[in-house]
Structure 1
Amino acid sequence: MATIIRRNERSWAIDLISKINAIATANDLIIKRAGGESTISTGRGNTMFPDVVLYGNKEQSIILQGWELKMPDVPIEDETFIKDAQQKAIALNLNSCLIWNFTYAVLYIRGEKNTFSKLKQWDATSHIRTRADVETYRTDWEKLLEEIVLDVNSYFVSGDFRNATLGDIISESTITTLIQRNKEIIAEKLKTAAFRDAVMAAYIDNWWLGVKSEYEHDETDKYKAYAKTIILNWANRIIFAHIIKNRQNGALVINELDYDTTPSEANQIFQKITAKCDFYNVFSAVRYNDILPELTWQDFAEYSNFLKSNGIENLNQEALQNILEGSVATSKRAINGQYTTPPELAKLLVRLSVKDWTDTILDCCCGTGTIPKAAIEIKRTQLSPKDAVESVWACDKYKYPLQVANISMTDSDTINLANRLFQHNALSLTIGDDISIVNPETGEEMHLSLPAFGTVVSNLPFVPFEIIPDDDKDEISKMPLASELDGRSDLYCYIATKIADVIKPGGTLGIIVSNSWLGTNAGTKLIEVLRQKYYLKQVHLSGKGRWFKNADVVTTIIVLEKKGSSQKATTDFWLWKQTLEQLTTDSDNENILVNSALLGTELDKTVSRLSKYAQSQIDDLLELNVCYNALFHDIDWLLNVKDKIIPINEVYHVFRGNRRGWDALFYPQAGEHRIEKQYLKKVLINARNVNRLTATADRDAFCCGVSTADLEKQGHIGALEWITKFVDQRNGVGKPLPTVLKRTGMEWYELQDNEIAEVFTMMNPDQRLFFAKFETPSFVNQRLIGLTHKASYSDEELNHALLNSMFTMFYIEASGFGRGLGVLDVNKDSIANCYMLNPKLVSQNDRTKIIAAFEKLKSRQIMRVSEELSDDIRLEFEHTVLKSFGIDDYFDKIKSSLLSMQETRATVRE
């Protein structure tokens, strides 16, 4: 049952409020007054806020409790009546509520997981049964009202009930409530409207194409996602207008927004505010925001009335700032929180990148404004608010995030200052671009020329190459260096290259990007291109947990200096040994981390660890097929042993196991078939159950290249039956298997076994790194990498032993990088390009020692790397191997680099 207070009911509610105020005035209570008149709906359906609100101060900024009222014809046990009151308590972040139908009153207290229990019931007016009785027995319920008020007050005195500040309610509860109440019905309204308006449908489709990746862990339906954008657009405009109206008279027109205002008329109200106060990015309407269900518009009107009547203009500067920050945080979570820059990370990025705090700063992909906000806050410690605000610029390709960014960048004492915030694609920024901003003091349009920047800092968008929007591709096609980047480069690669155009010589670029560049060909080409424009100064990686907790994404910070005068370049690779949360709560360690990076010196290895390389060293190391990821782990020792090593593909032919798909067809279970033996080959499916360095293939593979006609002629009914079983099956998207599995020159059901492995290792291993040898060479599937020795390296036992040395384990780690969940990203090519100790450098005497030590290793189970390197049998083997190459002095360095890489990769799970 909806909470509906008709006109006579509404008058009773207003009368009740007046009586509570009289009681509060006559007594010294925690309850200072009651309100709610302006948000009581007049027959408009379910409301967001209680019919009566009790306040802890006369300014109505401390909210104590909500009361829900009904007339006696609604039973006190009515479930909708009760639930409505409880949900409103949750929306107000309160732990109590009261319902009253003039016959009974019931007080509820909220417990864990938003469960409510009855605390007290009053029944002194149980004789009031009808609406007429409410008037007849007015004296009775007024007397009970005083008793209830005093009883409720005693619960606040005892501390059983908690209050909520207006700021907390606005920033933490009501926006979420607005989304929960309205997202679905707005989405349905949009979908219906778009079906009748092809232009609207095309607009939302195009919008979704640009932002879909940012909603990966949130919304999968474009209309629900756009509905949230509309809700946040209205909620933030309403909040911000009420916040600034005490300092900006032009915003007072927000008080005109009411139930009878239409959405279109409300948009005109915000246009008036923009004309006088600017904040265009806050107050501009997102397209189609007026396509709203009536119930949704009632919520927005009620929300504005609630703010208007609840003392927001009386809040102090700190409270207003808390509302701004809280609203921004809630909005970020609601849009694309998984990629929103954590505030501490934003501050560290800015501190690591800026050399001259008096110079201009730009965030070219500002999103919701966390990074420019951090820059302004730091500048304000030494500069005037005006100088700080006017020297920090920010832009974003998309319009909506700018609304949140403008609020984020505005402090309650900088409302009269014009944020340098504008909509622009980072790929087309040019010095001298005309930027239009309205001066909030005069209301006049300001035309600013985009300057050259001392620093550009940004969390660049996570857009993989497959879904780069067409308009961005057009801009990319105009870039001189675009062709030198890999065709599989993500969007951030192009932005990092292009943005050099607006940076001063000697200026810096500090960016947050995914870690994918650390271990891919596209990443290597990216750095080669960037080095044409910049010096690579610092690279930062977390060695203690992911920086973005809400997404399976691992990120790095890159700090580059635009080339000016020539200089000898070195690059510092910093591995953070403290979590972001630890740095947030320890300013000393934060300063150590920043100062270490700025000085290029390791000040405290428990905070951050430095690996420093000259560019020539980096080039030499990359020539040895390690990836950038390895450079965080102090691997310059590798250059001293390079005459002892050889690429694995010199010793072995390396291949990926047969890649066919549809395992149920190609790997039949025993007992499920009558397939003839000649069509079955032994195969190893995966290495999960391999626990020793020698192995046996454990499954059958169906390998048949004979046509069904020939099978029938030969009477091979078992194979024919097996093929027939799958001929009518379809894959997960409904396509027939014969179509999906068709290959040129092959039967659709054919699995070729032309490559037989002697040795194998895993694709994308985790904590066990090994090469196992088949007792009988066998067939492997696509989850494994197979190796077969080359004739020029015929000593299979020695080859196998050296493959399993700690040095090769190091190389497997050094050739890949950790995916989001910590699994090592290696493949057939990276294994083939790994180096191993050269078998031809081993003397016969040393070979005997190595094989003897390796036999002991083969006799026990494979362990995790960390366990292996503390095991006596393993240590004996490793020292035997390294001594035979004359490099036993490097044992500790190899072990340290290997374990550091493993620990760092695993820490993303934390």
Structure 2
Amino acid sequence: MVQLNYNERSWAIDVIAEIKKYLANKSVIIKNAGGENTLKKSKSTYFPDVLLFGDELGNSILQGWELKMPDTPITDPELIKNAREKADLLGVNSFLLWNVSEAVLYKIDDEGNHKIIKTWNDLNYINTREIVRERTVEWKQTLHKILDDLVDYFNRGEIRSTTIIDSVTGEGISNFILENVYLVADCLKQYSATNVDFEDEVFIWWDTVRVEYPNENDPWQPLAKNILISWMNKLLFAHILKNFREEAAIIDKIDLDTKPAEAVNIITDISSKCDFWNIFAPQLGEEHIPSSVWEKIVHYNIFLTDLKLESVGQDLIQEILQSTIYRTHRKLAGQFTTPKKLADLLVALTIKNKRGNVYDPCCGTGTIARAAFDLKVESGISYKEALQTTWASDKFSFPLQMATLALTNPKNIGEVINIFKKDISDLKAKEDIKLSNPVDGSEIIKQLPQMSSIVSNLPFVRQEVIKKLNPSIIKNINNKIKKALGKGYQLKAKSDLYAYLPFVLWDLLKDDGRLGIIISNSWLSTEWGVEFKKALRKFFHIEAIVTSGKGKWFNNADVVTNILILNKINPKADSLEGKEISFVTLTEDIINKEYNDKNLINNIARSIRTKKKDKYLNIETYSLEQIKKIDELGITWSALFSNCDWLFEITDKLLPASKIFDIARGERRGWNALFYPEPGHGIEKIYLKPVLKSSRDIKGYTATANSEAFCCTVSLQKLREMGHLGAYNWIKKFENGVNNTGQPLVEVLTNPQYSYWYSLEPKTLADFVISMNPDERLFVAKLETRSFVDQRLIRFTANVQDVDMDLVHALMNSILGLFFIEALGFGRGLGALDLNATKFKRDLKILNPYLVSKEQAERIKDKFSKLKKRGTLPLLEDLNCGIRKEFDDVVLRAFGIEKYKEQMERSLKNLYNIRKSVCQNN
């Protein structure tokens, strides 16, 4: 007799069992199947009915299946839509539909479209659900064919798997939970209307943390986000904890019959039996979740049960937590999660006294604090002592939950973890710090010691938002710098937040303590970086600066970063005579690639400390006296990652470019509609000048302006008197206009540098031009006709008459000219060179054209004419071109410095390769 209640769930459970049985004795890419927990606990699910895994433990997810009875067409739009959504949720690029009679495999292409790539219809005669069970032998045979075919697809790489990290931490799962923020926020707000005590608690919390949410006007959405993320973290960690404590297995009891308040009790029960109070502590409002959202959270819990996360190790815990939540939550404050190997390298370079106290004051998810803890343990220090001498804090409350996870280990259960909430700018040595008892959450008071080492990935916060995040830090730090250096010294207003923080941390270090920080590379080359370096060298000896020559360290951010290793000194007593600074380039991607050598990071750190070159890095070491000469030449510190010793031998051949040119940024008057008129304007030709509007319009060493600029320094009255009504009417057209914020154009465009509010001045017409953000091609273009240039270009306006400008043009495009262009900028996150017109005006040097004889000048111009005819090329291709080599040989021989050509070329290539390396792992 046919079993009438044999339904989709029953069949799906049988399918999973048969998959496991069939795979038991096979050695194929598909290792296991799951999903039965979901099927047993709900009628419908947000996750696939069947999960295929690439390993026994379920750490690699291959594919999800949706199963239906024959009375649901395989072409049902809703079925296909649901299956696609679940594939996106998992992060895989395929899904399979099977309604017994027919199975269909879909692939999702790189453009996001899904299409059928395989169909199995051997069972098309099974067209009712009533006969499915009695046709078990047939559908099992088809199942085996499906599995065999899928193995072939996976082996060929036509469909891909995903890891637990990519699935659990990807955009799909994160959005799946966090898209409900609005619903939870509304539920919390509604509940507060009926419970004034809860409302009071919420606004007390909000008064404390609202600075973290400058774009929010009330607490409800931030609180909702915290609640949802907290639930995800608790469930995730509880499942992982099952591997260490069997008491945590009660997390599986949270199913669709469990209410939020009951789930809170289950979590509290786990904490009471397994410790980890900092992780499992109740969060404000976490039980006030609408049923539709709670159902999703429960489904997430059931999904975690299927994945068997209890098998996941500590390193994977960190990666899961970092990738899913932290980046989203902390994006406003500019911080990004530190890669584990980068954290390992940072602490290995910084910590010399491994028994001393080490501290990360911007700990985020705790990756660096964990690396410090691991270094101590690997050195033979006990887990207990390592934990007692590792400290971490953060300005924000939420990341501390994850930082606690990072320092959690079964061997230190029950020990106090030195993690606390504190704004870095408010830190004081020897102050009392409130910590939590890991068992019951009770308060413990400890004194914050002076540290042997401080290690941190400092916040990447632009100067525009410093006043919002740290309103007092600018004044306090500048006062400290003035006391040490004199009244004239202070950090410039454009300094990023990280520029102030080393001076805060100076007080927290013991004498001779060490500070190791990860910061943006902008300080090496920006205007504000000049004052930062002066102040930094007064309070610290800069031991080493480490950069990457093989890709960015932070793949999810456009920022390019350095490691900076500093030794504390007394600004009034310590001398830096005889000290050196090491500029280190990692020549292999040791941060993002896997290496078999477990001691690689420590060996690299040892090489850097001892200034020993090896295959993984290059070190250039400069004395402070040499760096002083470099500063006088105007070369940025970005250039010091290459060998610049040869520069000291040719300084007498150089001339400041400002002796020949007025150098400035192109015109930025602020209202292009007025100053760059479209055709049909009717303006007299006398008031029109050529304008070069974009670097894209520069096709070679000679540039032609292809647009017109309105250039009028005549009064309206005079225009009318002269009958120049085209220009007059054009100005009147804008006279009563306003800008995008409603301000009158007459007011916002008035500037004492210009004759009238509508004026462009002829004195800013350019002779030469260069892009502010050149990429692969480095060159200076000469304008065919003197022209205005737009604000994204740097203009060179000749201010002397006694020099051959064609010769100057050639010299600026010599190998030494290109080196100076590269050496005066710094690389951005997408690999472009960032140049600054003010720095060019002050520091750009060129080969002195006054030192060249007429005969030499003619030879140089002749060779340059061939280069111009050839056209510009990407730098590395350019330097290898015979025409370029002949040109540079003639130039360098004319100045008697040809013996340095190989060094110049090597230095230029090295700087270029470092800059462009950030694109390698994009």
**2:590 & 2:839 partners in 1: Cα distance?**
32
2:588 paired with 1:558: no
2:812 paired with 1:813: no
**2:65 & 2:901 partners in 1: Cα distance?**
73
How has the CA–CA distance of structure 1 residues 26 and 714 changed in structure 2, closer, same or farther, with 3 Å as cutoff? Answer: closer
Residue 234 (structure 1) shift: 1.0
Instruction: Quote the RMSD (CA, aligned, Å).
Output: 4.8
2:324 paired with 1:330: yes
2:598 paired with 1:600: no
Letter in 2 for 1:473: P
Residue 298 (structure 1) shift: 1.0
Match of 1:888 among 871, 879, 898: 898
2:341 paired with 1:344: yes
| Residues 790-799 or 857-866, more deviating | 790-799
Quote the residue 1:854 is aligned against: 861
Match of 1:570 among 553, 557, 580: 580
Quote the residue 1:497 is aligned against: 503
- Tell whether the 8 Å contact from 1:39 to 1:305 is kept in structure 2 after alignment: no
Quote the residue 1:428 is aligned against: 426
Letter in 1 for 2:724: H
Match of 1:362 among 338, 359, 362: 359
Residue 297 (structure 1) shift: 0.6
2:41 paired with 1:40: yes
**1:582 & 1:889 partners in 2: Cα distance?**
39
1:356-389 CA-partner distances (Å, limit 9, x unpaired): 3333322221222222233333433343443444
**2:242 & 2:375 partners in 1: Cα distance?**
27
- Tell whether the 8 Å contact from 1:547 to 1:580 is kept in structure 2 after alignment: no
Letter in 1 for 2:909: L
Match of 1:524 among 522, 527, 530: 530
Residue 281 (structure 1) shift: 3.9
Residue 724 (structure 1) shift: 5.8
Match of 1:374 among 360, 371, 375: 371
- Tell whether the 8 Å contact from 2:53 to 2:63 is kept in structure 1 after alignment: yes
Residue 296 (structure 1) shift: 1.1
How has the CA–CA distance of structure 1 residues 739 and 206 changed in structure 2, closer, same or farther, with 3 Å as cutoff? Answer: farther
The SS at the match of 2:827 is coil
Quote the residue 1:453 is aligned against: 451
Residue 586 (structure 1) shift: 5.8
Quote the residue 1:632 is aligned against: 641
**1:569 & 1:889 partners in 2: Cα distance?**
30
Residue 146 (structure 1) shift: 6.6
- Tell whether the 8 Å contact from 1:813 to 1:901 is kept in structure 2 after alignment: yes
The SS at the match of 2:543 is strand
Residue 762 (structure 1) shift: 3.8
**2:693 & 2:56 partners in 1: Cα distance?**
73
Residue 556 (structure 1) shift: 1.0
**2:911 & 2:147 partners in 1: Cα distance?**
55
Residue 613 (structure 1) shift: 0.9
Aligned pairs (5 A) from 1:743-782: 743=751, 747-773=756-782, 777-782=786-791
How has the CA–CA distance of structure 1 residues 610 and 365 changed in structure 2, closer, same or farther, with 3 Å as cutoff? Answer: same
Match of 1:233 among 230, 233, 249: 230
How has the CA–CA distance of structure 1 residues 594 and 91 changed in structure 2, closer, same or farther, with 3 Å as cutoff? Answer: same
1:391-429 CA-partner distances (Å, limit 9, x unpaired): 332222112222233333334555555443322222223
**1:210 & 1:264 partners in 2: Cα distance?**
28
Quote the residue 1:488 is aligned against: 494
1:763-801 CA-partner distances (Å, limit 9, x unpaired): 333344444555664444434434444559656565555
1:573-613 CA-partner distances (Å, limit 9, x unpaired): 01222234675336386566333202112234xx3222111
2:828 paired with 1:829: no
Quote the residue 2:298 is aligned against: 301
Quote the residue 1:609 is aligned against: 618
**2:179 & 2:246 partners in 1: Cα distance?**
36
2:537 paired with 1:534: no
Match of 1:181 among 167, 176, 182: 176
Residue 536 (structure 1) shift: 0.3
**2:698 & 2:53 partners in 1: Cα distance?**
68
Question: Unpaired segments of 5 or more residues in structure 1?
Answer: 1-7, 129-136, 214-218
Aligned pairs (5 A) from 1:556-705: 556-563=562-569, 568-580=578-590, 584-585=594-595, 587=597, 593-604=604-615, 607-669=616-678, 671-686=679-694, 688-690=696-698, 697-705=705-713
1:834-864 CA-partner distances (Å, limit 9, x unpaired): 3535748626xx3431333224313541534
| Residues 722-731 or 617-626, more deviating | 722-731
**2:826 & 2:592 partners in 1: Cα distance?**
25
**1:389 & 1:614 partners in 2: Cα distance?**
39
The SS at the match of 2:764 is coil
TM-score (norm 2): 0.80
Letter in 2 for 1:391: T
**1:906 & 1:56 partners in 2: Cα distance?**
36
| Residues 478-487 or 772-781, more deviating | 772-781
- Tell whether the 8 Å contact from 1:361 to 1:391 is kept in structure 2 after alignment: yes
| Residues 420-429 or 763-772, more deviating | 763-772
1:208-243 CA-partner distances (Å, limit 9, x unpaired): 864789xxxxx9x99988765543321111121243
- Tell whether the 8 Å contact from 1:694 to 1:858 is kept in structure 2 after alignment: no
How has the CA–CA distance of structure 1 residues 326 and 150 changed in structure 2, closer, same or farther, with 3 Å as cutoff? Answer: farther
Residue 465 (structure 1) shift: 0.9
**1:32 & 1:776 partners in 2: Cα distance?**
72
**2:97 & 2:345 partners in 1: Cα distance?**
47
1:861-906 CA-partner distances (Å, limit 9, x unpaired): 1534445544555545544444444433333333322232223223
TM-score (norm 1): 0.81
Residue 295 (structure 1) shift: 1.2
- Tell whether the 8 Å contact from 1:370 to 1:408 is kept in structure 2 after alignment: yes
Letter in 1 for 2:901: F
| Residues 64-73 or 792-801, more deviating | 64-73
- Tell whether the 8 Å contact from 1:665 to 1:702 is kept in structure 2 after alignment: yes
How has the CA–CA distance of structure 1 residues 190 and 823 changed in structure 2, closer, same or farther, with 3 Å as cutoff? Answer: same
**2:50 & 2:614 partners in 1: Cα distance?**
60
1:611-643 CA-partner distances (Å, limit 9, x unpaired): 111112212211221111111111133223333
**2:396 & 2:553 partners in 1: Cα distance?**
24
Letter in 1 for 2:425: L
**1:789 & 1:23 partners in 2: Cα distance?**
82
How has the CA–CA distance of structure 1 residues 112 and 689 changed in structure 2, closer, same or farther, with 3 Å as cutoff? Answer: closer
How has the CA–CA distance of structure 1 residues 546 and 85 changed in structure 2, closer, same or farther, with 3 Å as cutoff? Answer: closer
Match of 1:466 among 456, 464, 475: 464
Q: Percent identity?
A: 34
How has the CA–CA distance of structure 1 residues 908 and 115 changed in structure 2, closer, same or farther, with 3 Å as cutoff? Answer: same
| Residues 566-575 or 264-273, more deviating | 264-273
- Tell whether the 8 Å contact from 1:360 to 1:455 is kept in structure 2 after alignment: yes
| Residues 387-396 or 816-825, more deviating | 387-396
Letter in 2 for 1:703: C
Match of 2:515 among 488, 506, 509: 509
How many residue pairs are counted as aligned between the two chains? 872
**1:724 & 1:884 partners in 2: Cα distance?**
56
Letter in 2 for 1:749: Y
Letter in 2 for 1:853: I
How has the CA–CA distance of structure 1 residues 76 and 574 changed in structure 2, closer, same or farther, with 3 Å as cutoff? Answer: closer
Letter in 2 for 1:572: S
- Tell whether the 8 Å contact from 2:70 to 2:128 is kept in structure 1 after alignment: no
